[in-house]
Every structure is written in C-alpha cells, then in structure tokens.
Amino acid sequence: MTIFRDKRTTTGYFYELNSEFLKFHSLKWYEAKSMSPRGKDIVGNIYEDAMYDPPAWSWTGFVKGYNLAAINGYLIWGGQLICTAPFRQGVLTGVTGS
C-alpha cells in the first residue's frame, strides 16, 4: 500500500482511498459538439472511443469576442469521478505518531 502525506489534512486523520473502485464518468458540455480523442492518422493511438461514453471531449467551435478583434475556441474535457463501492474507502481518526 502506498501512503502519501497531505499537508492540508487535519492532524490525527488517516484517509484510505481504494483507487480500484473509482470510475470516471464523462459529461458532454451542453453548448459544444462531441469529439473523439482518437486520431485517424496515428497508428497505435492509446486512446479509445470506448473509454468515454458519451465522449468526454467537447469543442465549442470558434466564438467571437464581444467588442474584441479576436476569436476563441475551447476544448473542454468534463466528467466526474465516482466511487462504485463507498464502503471500501475509509478514514481513521485519533491517529498519533511516534
């Protein structure tokens, strides 16, 4: 088990996070078009379309700035990290060190 120290954790607490039960669920940005991370011309691309259902990547297209001589486009990657087995996570309180 790997143990990491977090400076922002309150003294006396020990958090246990089992990463095998964490899953990422992608969310499509409502104002953008879905796009795939798979490159058509790249052989051996490590990204698969099946990883993201619906696709996590969204492209807003080019947006004109108000009262500006510029245009912007945004590539958005969105989703949420959920736990499929919350009882396999934990926190210990009253931990002291020597």
6-41 pLDDT tens trace = 888 888 899 998 889 988 888 777 777 877 666 666
Distance CA 79, CA 54 (A): 10
HSE-up of residue 62 (Cα within 13 Å, Cβ side) = 4
12 to 9, 15, 18, 24, 98: CA distances (angstroms): 9, 10, 20, 30, 12
pTM: 0.53
- Candidates 47, 46, 57, 49; CA nearest to 79 is 57
Under the banding of pLDDT at 50, 70 and 90, the label for residue 64 is: confident
